[in-house]
Structure 1
Amino acid sequence: MKVLKFGGTSVGSASNINNVISILDKKSKDGKVIAVVSAVGGITDKLLAAGNLAIKKDEAYKDVFTEIQNVHVTLVKQLIPSENEAIIAAIENKFKDLKSLLEGLYLLNELTPKISDKLVSFGELMSSYIITKCMFARSLDVVRKNSQELIITNSNYGDADVELTLTEKNIQTYFKASESLITILPGFVAKNQDGEETTLGRGGSDFTASIIAAALNVEILEIWTDVSGMYTANPKLVKQAVPIEQLSFQEAMELSHFGAKVLYPPTVQPVLDANIPILIKNTMQPNDAGTKISDETKASIKNPVKGITHINDIALLTLQGPGMVGIPGFSKRLFETLANEKINVIFITQASSEHAICFGIDIRDSQTAQNVIDKTFEYEITLKKIEPILVETGLSIIALIGDNMKNYQGISGRMFSTLGKNNINVRAIAQGASERNISAVIDESDIKKALNSLHERFFEVQTKQLNVFIVGVGNVGERLIDQIEQQHGFLKEKLKIDVRIVGMANSRKMVFNNEGIDLENWPSAFDFAEQSNLERFFNKVIELNLRNSIFVDITADEKVSDWYAHYLRNSIAVVACNKIACSGAYDTYENLHNLALSYNTAFLYETNVGAGLPIINTLNNLVASGDKVTSIQAVLSGSLNFVFNHFGDHTNFHDTVKRAQFEGYTEPDPRIDLSGIDVARKILILARENGGKMEIEDIENESFLTTANLESSSVDDFYDTLKEDESHFQHIYASAKANNCQLKYVAEFKDGKAKVGLREIPEGHPFYNLEGKDNIVMFYTERYPEQPLIVKGAGAGADVTASGLFADIIKIGNK
């Protein structure tokens, strides 16, 4: 004999009921089957709504009544298309009783618990009747037995206690005599010994099935619902969540207590006592394995955590004060006060100092709790021995669950480090001695991020999801997007990093997609995008609140760099191509680094100096390893190197600069490159990375431009002055040629001082043969005193700059 329970969603539509009938038909091939069914999904709430409207003299109850009636009549017509007149007539006759009950409530203006039980019983009685008639019409061997004739309770209406001895005797007697293959029972409903209707309260249909299963000592109780078992996390919030194959009774109860709605532990206590396993199955996907709950535990060596669950709408209350220390009785008085008001305590923690007791309750009880606790401790509060109860709302509890967690070190550390890295503040922590449950109170707005972060940490194949937000989708930005799209599969397979671009902005528009923007056709996302705004962009990033978020700045805009601190304070990593922040005021540079350290996030800007070349990384490695950099010599401008490698006595300077700009080697305003300020910023950044507290004014800049060039009022004006001063540039070139030298714009740092300027480089020097847009940096250190450590390669261009940004993003992913 098998006992199956079908929930409201399982019988919520004609197609779902057809699934139920198919399951029962198949199960009955192997022996007798008992099916406990809930009311049609949503009907219990509608019945209560109709009753509450009626007692308020609101005639809208009639509309709700009609809606309830239509739902059931429609189901009959869909399930039994022909020869259904007698069934519909019987249903409509039953609805006369419901209508009379509601009319009585309308007149009496009172919905007592006793009448409420009679009202809500209608849902289960009606669904079980319709399903039985439908199965009978299909020639199945089926009978309906009213649970009210089997389950006897006391008169605690709304949540009646079962008279188990009498009830078990009724069940055993009936089913011993029953010869039908399939028996349909309404769940939730019962009667007291006087024959008055009662209900079994929350999870009542589960309770009915559990009582039946325990009384008949069946091999397993199957609970059929709309999900394929109990999941590693809420699948509505964590898409990667998967059903758990096997759980112990204790694990299942912990998960259910903390928000897994599939199972309500008190209602299945009879089968737990009888050690009867429970199987959670999906009515809509009956072939899925589901979750088996038993006293057998399937331990995982790799992952002792079985699931992550949560409860929303939590209020955290704190009773504290110096008068509590060392004085017995405070806890007793506190929790007695709550018990007297029937307020359930969900979470408790107390520091060993005894200065405070912190506990969590349903937010709906918070005002009552505050009033009664303050009244209980009114005397101590008056004497200032304790403070008035502190109430915090807008919170949730998140919990790791697993029997085997106690046998593994570091579970708590991994949990809280993961939350910390994602800027999720933990307000309170509780862990029992069994270590089966580690709970934390966090802000409700962080729940989705917390669940996904922890699920990624404990359940996924160590694949780390990076959520990237890009400002500056120009030439370099486009290349970066292409590189991310091209390498996505490789990174996911080889490095276990899933890079998603969630937000983009150019100078005009910005777009977001919290599931990740389609990189194969990303330009179309801007077609109907909203207008760009840096503040709204930041607010959207915060609102999305995604784990492992990275803000990428691919602009040269000071206004964008002003937002770095805001991102870092929210534990959002910053990757910057923009040099302004790191080459601006030293206090700003230092503050950003301190923020990154304080908020456990990353601030990376490798492309500030040499595009894709690992210059900053190399310098940092030297310093971190204990080496001391004594001097730096470098050609750090790919654009200037390109210009002077192509300028000569057969070309003019104006056209060479124009070509460099056209090919993307200079900024849109080439004065930034040619004035030397860009190189000065780069050597300043290297000096700072080496420990120097320098400002841009401390860099000696020996410009090769004329006064007219430097004082030009616009880019066009600048180009005009280049034409006018061609002889000046030809003279510079001629001098270098006469000395058999190459012209290179060189940056130098030594003895705490730095300078930049155009130099004539003699043959044989490492800079002499530097070609095209290449950069070169020579680090002289205590370990490399004579032969410097050299980093050399392309130092400009969209592709290499994008690759440098990409490398910083990957570095964050590998952290």
Structure 2
Amino acid sequence: MKVLKFGGTSVANAANIQRVKSIVENTKSDRVFVVVSALGGITDLLMEALNRASKNDKGYAQVLEAIEKRHLETVKALFPPQAQSAILGKVKTDLNALESMVEGALMIGEITPGLSDKVVSHGELLSSFIIAEFLKKDGLDAIFKDSRELIVTDETHGRATVYFNETQKNCKDFFNGTSQKIVVLPGFIAASKSGKITTLGRGGSDYTAAILAGALDAEVLEIWTDVSGMFTANPKLVKQAKCIEHISFEEAMELSHFGAKVLYAPTIQPVLAKAIPIHIKNTFAPEDTGTLISKNQNSGGKTVKGISHVGNITLLSLEGPGMVGIPGISKRFFETLFLENISVVLITQASSEHSICVGISDIDAEKAEKAVNDAFELEISAKRIKPAIVESDLAIIALVGDNMKNHQGLSGKMFSALGKNNVNIRAIAQGASERNISAVIGKEDVKKALNTLHEAFFEEQVKQLNLFIIGVGNVGSRLLQQLQQQKKYLKKELKLNVRVIGLSNSSKMVFDEDGLDLRQWTELLDHGQHADPNLFFKAIKKLNYRNSILVDNTASESVANSYGDFLKESISVVTCNKIACSSDYAHYSKLKQLSKEYNAPFLFETNVGAGLPIIDTLKHLIASGDKVHKIQAVLSGSLNFVFNNFSSDVTFHDIVKKAQEGGYTEPDPKIDLSGIDVMRKILILARESGYQLDIDDIENESFLPEESLRTSSNDEFFASLKRYESHFQNIYQQATSKKCRLKYVAQFEDGKARVGLQHIPEGHDFYNLEGSDNIVLFYTDRYIDQPLIIKGAGAGADVTASGIFADIVRIGNF
């Protein structure tokens, strides 16, 4: 014998009821008891009609009309015209009785508990009658049975207490006295010994089904709903959530207590003692496995079975020195809440007895605060205890699993994962059974926390990185191409799932919470909204994704100045933009400090040497205890490209133009040729070596004419290069006459730095530096006479993009 319960969405309309019939018809059992809820949404409409009538709002009549229309349309869709008359007659009779009851609320101007139960009971009575008649019409051996004739309760309306002895006897007598294979019953409703209609409260239809299953020793209780079982997390918030195929009663109760809405925890009680399994199935996907809830066999499996949460939580704290060592404080505190009918969701108490903290629903916060302050008025006035402290807009997240007690380090793993994403924890509780670990967090962090924990405990260490990219020019477009090309490799080999969530250039920006399709990013961006840096930041902050990374591919000062705002939100920053790290030392230092404080990496490998591992190597030297004394370097790939290709046969203007078009220079080539770019790079290397230096401390021996330096646009700048061609040819001839090559060299030594064009003789480390290559020589405690040399391509969109790509991967591996 099986008990099947179908929720409101499962019986919301004629099409869904057809599905229910198919499921019942194909159930393999000698007897099937079918418990049904009201048609989806009808209970809410019944309460709305009643509330409106009690307030003399004539709109209640329209609500009743909507209720009538739903039921009549369902009947007409399920039955042929010749079979509708008797059924419609019964439905209309019940609806007329309902109207009279609602009008009673209109006349007395209030809602009594008894009247409320009578009105809302009509939802289940109507749906169960219609469904029973439909099953019979299609030739199934079915009968309708009114649950009020079986389930006996006290006369507490709205949440009646069941008398199990009488109820079990009624159920067994009925079972033994009827022969029909299928029995359809209304859920949620019952009756007192005197025959008064009562209801079973929240989850009442599940409770009805569990009561019947327990009374009749059913082989299984099947709960059919609109999801395919209990999930490892809320699938609406965690898209990677998976169905839990098997879970214990205790685990199911914990998950239900902490917000898993598929099952209401008290409904488990009638079947728990008899170890009757509960199978949660999907009416709309009956072939799905679903979740089987049964007695825990301690058979191993996943340590953590699920992650759940409860929203709209307030923390209520009582603390003060007057609590220490005083017996009865806790009793008075909890008794006060009990007398106000306030349910406590979570409890934590300091071992010093200096404070007690509980989690309660937001709606009870004001009442609880007043009650506690009144109860401890004497101690508060004497300043032995502080007034109750109330913190709202919180939520509880919980890890649940029977096997958690046998595994060490779960709490550490949980809190470490949350900490890395800057999810602030306000309170912690762990049950003595060690079946759950709960933490109170801000409600705005719920989605991020659930996804972070799900990734840590269920996703085989595949880490999701969420990128927000500003700048899609030469470097940005190459980066997007590389990300698309390497997506599968990253996931398979490095366990990194990299998604571009937001994209912006100077005119447009676009977001996709599921990740932009990088195969068509140009079209998506073209149809995006107007670019606004402030809105871009607000959008990232609102999304509040774990492992969020801002990628700045621009040379924008305003973008660079915003890094601090991102870091404070635990959003990592990867940038090839040198402005922030070469700004005044206090700002640079502040960004580094924010990165540590908010656990948000700030990486800028491409600031020096594009894709070359210069900064990374320098960091390893410093971390291992080495000390840098001297740096010599050719740090401008663009200047190296220019002077390697400049000769008496080609104009300086043409070579610079070629460098710009090839992506070797900044969009404004004057930044490179003026030496400011090299100054920034040597400044960054000096700072990363541990020296405090500012850009004004660097000596710059510029080779550009003063007029070229004063130009305000690229057109003016290039025009000036043409005018001063003889000046540049003279520089070239001077080097050639000495059999030297021209190199723009940066040097740091004895705490001082300078940059400028130098004549490099044959045999020097810099002499044979070709193309746009960079070279850096580090002289340290360990590399005294023979420097550590890093050499390679130091400019170009592809290598710069690959350097940014490497920084993104570094963050993924943190």
TM range (shorter): over 0.9
Deviation per CA, 1:575-610, whole angstroms, max 9, x where unpaired?
111101111111111111111111111000001011
C-alpha distance in structure 2 between counterparts of 1:271 and 1:360, whole Å: 29
> Displacement of 1:768 after TM fit?
1.4
C-alpha distance in structure 1 between counterparts of 2:731 and 2:552, whole Å: 37
Instruction: Identify which range, 655-664 or 315-324, moves more after superposition.
Output: 655-664
> Displacement of 1:299 after TM fit?
4.8
TM-score, with length taken from structure 2: 0.98
Q: Does 1:242 align with 2:235?
A: no
Amino acid at match of 1:201: G
State the partner residue of 2:309.
310
Q: Does 1:270 align with 2:260?
A: no
State the partner residue of 1:378.
377
Deviation per CA, 1:379-427, whole angstroms, max 9, x where unpaired?
1111111121111111111111111111111111111111111121111
C-alpha distance in structure 2 between counterparts of 1:515 and 1:345, whole Å: 37
C-alpha distance in structure 2 between counterparts of 1:733 and 1:710, whole Å: 20
- State whether residues 246 and 298 of structure 1, in contact with CA within 8 Å, keep that contact through their aligned partners in structure 2: no
State the partner residue of 2:161.
161
Partner of 1:190, secondary structure, is strand
Deviation per CA, 1:310-351, whole angstroms, max 9, x where unpaired?
011111111112211221211111110111111100111111
C-alpha distance in structure 2 between counterparts of 1:65 and 1:284, whole Å: 29
State the partner residue of 1:492.
491
Q: Does 1:693 align with 2:692?
A: yes
Partner of 1:316, secondary structure, is strand
> Displacement of 1:482 after TM fit?
1.2
Q: Does 1:339 align with 2:338?
A: yes
- State whether residues 249 and 268 of structure 2, in contact with CA within 8 Å, keep that contact through their aligned partners in structure 1: no
Amino acid at match of 1:336: E
- State whether residues 256 and 265 of structure 1, in contact with CA within 8 Å, keep that contact through their aligned partners in structure 2: yes
Amino acid at match of 2:23: I
- State whether residues 299 and 404 of structure 1, in contact with CA within 8 Å, keep that contact through their aligned partners in structure 2: no
State the partner residue of 2:473.
474
State the partner residue of 1:218.
218
- State whether residues 417 and 452 of structure 2, in contact with CA within 8 Å, keep that contact through their aligned partners in structure 1: yes
Amino acid at match of 1:671: K
State the partner residue of 2:770.
771
State the partner residue of 1:592.
591
Q: What 5-or-longer segments of structure 1 have no aligned partner?
A: none
In the TM superposition, what are the counterparts of 1:537-686 in structure 2 within 5 Å? 537-686=536-685
> Displacement of 1:23 after TM fit?
1.0
Deviation per CA, 1:597-624, whole angstroms, max 9, x where unpaired?
1111100000101111111011111121
Q: What 5-or-longer segments of structure 2 have no aligned partner?
A: none
State the partner residue of 1:91.
91
- State whether residues 2 and 29 of structure 2, in contact with CA within 8 Å, keep that contact through their aligned partners in structure 1: no
In the TM superposition, what are the counterparts of 1:171-190 in structure 2 within 5 Å? 171-190=171-190
> Displacement of 1:673 after TM fit?
0.9
Q: Does 1:233 align with 2:229?
A: no
C-alpha distance in structure 1 between counterparts of 2:396 and 2:490, whole Å: 34
> Displacement of 1:810 after TM fit?
0.9
> Displacement of 1:765 after TM fit?
2.0
State the partner residue of 2:125.
125
Amino acid at match of 1:371: K
Amino acid at match of 2:228: S
Amino acid at match of 2:407: Y
State the partner residue of 2:170.
170
634 and 87 in structure 1: CA distance in 2 versus 1, 3 angstrom threshold: same
Q: Does 1:416 align with 2:380?
A: no
- State whether residues 13 and 74 of structure 2, in contact with CA within 8 Å, keep that contact through their aligned partners in structure 1: yes
Partner of 2:460, secondary structure, is coil
C-alpha distance in structure 2 between counterparts of 1:321 and 1:45, whole Å: 45
Partner of 1:583, secondary structure, is coil
- State whether residues 246 and 297 of structure 1, in contact with CA within 8 Å, keep that contact through their aligned partners in structure 2: no
Partner of 1:173, secondary structure, is helix
C-alpha distance in structure 1 between counterparts of 2:663 and 2:161, whole Å: 80
C-alpha distance in structure 1 between counterparts of 2:571 and 2:751, whole Å: 33
Partner of 2:202, secondary structure, is coil
C-alpha distance in structure 1 between counterparts of 2:297 and 2:698, whole Å: 68
C-alpha distance in structure 2 between counterparts of 1:731 and 1:791, whole Å: 32
- State whether residues 189 and 204 of structure 1, in contact with CA within 8 Å, keep that contact through their aligned partners in structure 2: yes
Deviation per CA, 1:124-173, whole angstroms, max 9, x where unpaired?
11111000111111011111111111111111111111121111111111
Partner of 2:580, secondary structure, is helix
- State whether residues 468 and 552 of structure 1, in contact with CA within 8 Å, keep that contact through their aligned partners in structure 2: yes
C-alpha distance in structure 2 between counterparts of 1:531 and 1:21, whole Å: 52
Deviation per CA, 1:342-364, whole angstroms, max 9, x where unpaired?
11001111111222111111111
714 and 390 in structure 1: CA distance in 2 versus 1, 3 angstrom threshold: same
> Displacement of 1:110 after TM fit?
2.4
C-alpha distance in structure 1 between counterparts of 2:169 and 2:120, whole Å: 26
State the partner residue of 2:31.
32
Amino acid at match of 1:420: G
Q: Does 1:200 align with 2:222?
A: no
State the partner residue of 1:729.
728
714 and 216 in structure 1: CA distance in 2 versus 1, 3 angstrom threshold: closer
Partner of 2:535, secondary structure, is helix
Deviation per CA, 1:91-114, whole angstroms, max 9, x where unpaired?
112211111111222112221111
Count residues with an aligned counterpart: 813
Deviation per CA, 1:188-218, whole angstroms, max 9, x where unpaired?
1111111121111121111111111111112
> Displacement of 1:489 after TM fit?
1.3
C-alpha distance in structure 1 between counterparts of 2:101 and 2:169, whole Å: 33
Amino acid at match of 1:647: F
Amino acid at match of 1:13: N
> Displacement of 1:567 after TM fit?
0.8
Deviation per CA, 1:517-572, whole angstroms, max 9, x where unpaired?
22111122233433222222111111111110001111112111111111111111
- State whether residues 606 and 616 of structure 1, in contact with CA within 8 Å, keep that contact through their aligned partners in structure 2: yes
Q: Does 1:327 align with 2:326?
A: yes
C-alpha distance in structure 2 between counterparts of 1:648 and 1:285, whole Å: 75
> Displacement of 1:82 after TM fit?
3.3
- State whether residues 632 and 777 of structure 2, in contact with CA within 8 Å, keep that contact through their aligned partners in structure 1: yes
State the partner residue of 2:22.
22
C-alpha distance in structure 1 between counterparts of 2:713 and 2:291, whole Å: 71
- State whether residues 253 and 268 of structure 2, in contact with CA within 8 Å, keep that contact through their aligned partners in structure 1: no
> Displacement of 1:812 after TM fit?
0.4
- State whether residues 626 and 781 of structure 2, in contact with CA within 8 Å, keep that contact through their aligned partners in structure 1: yes
C-alpha distance in structure 2 between counterparts of 1:337 and 1:278, whole Å: 37
Amino acid at match of 1:520: R
Amino acid at match of 1:171: C
C-alpha distance in structure 2 between counterparts of 1:581 and 1:6, whole Å: 60
In the TM superposition, what are the counterparts of 1:786-805 in structure 2 within 5 Å? 786-805=785-804
Deviation per CA, 1:435-454, whole angstroms, max 9, x where unpaired?
21111111111111111111
State the partner residue of 1:351.
350
C-alpha distance in structure 2 between counterparts of 1:72 and 1:436, whole Å: 45
State the partner residue of 2:464.
465
> Displacement of 1:300 after TM fit?
4.4
Amino acid at match of 2:118: K
- State whether residues 628 and 782 of structure 1, in contact with CA within 8 Å, keep that contact through their aligned partners in structure 2: yes
State the partner residue of 2:393.
394
Partner of 1:747, secondary structure, is strand
Amino acid at match of 1:145: K
Partner of 2:519, secondary structure, is coil
> Displacement of 1:287 after TM fit?
1.2
C-alpha distance in structure 2 between counterparts of 1:117 and 1:291, whole Å: 32
Partner of 1:430, secondary structure, is strand
C-alpha distance in structure 2 between counterparts of 1:166 and 1:183, whole Å: 20
Amino acid at match of 2:639: L
In the TM superposition, what are the counterparts of 1:38-49 in structure 2 within 5 Å? 38-49=37-48
Q: Identity of paired residues, percent? A: 59
State the partner residue of 1:256.
256
Amino acid at match of 1:750: E
Q: Does 1:443 align with 2:442?
A: yes
Q: Does 1:288 align with 2:288?
A: yes
- State whether residues 247 and 297 of structure 1, in contact with CA within 8 Å, keep that contact through their aligned partners in structure 2: no
Deviation per CA, 1:637-668, whole angstroms, max 9, x where unpaired?
01100110111111121222122122221222
C-alpha distance in structure 1 between counterparts of 2:498 and 2:120, whole Å: 51
C-alpha distance in structure 2 between counterparts of 1:265 and 1:712, whole Å: 74
Amino acid at match of 2:656: V
State the partner residue of 1:806.
805
C-alpha distance in structure 2 between counterparts of 1:366 and 1:769, whole Å: 75
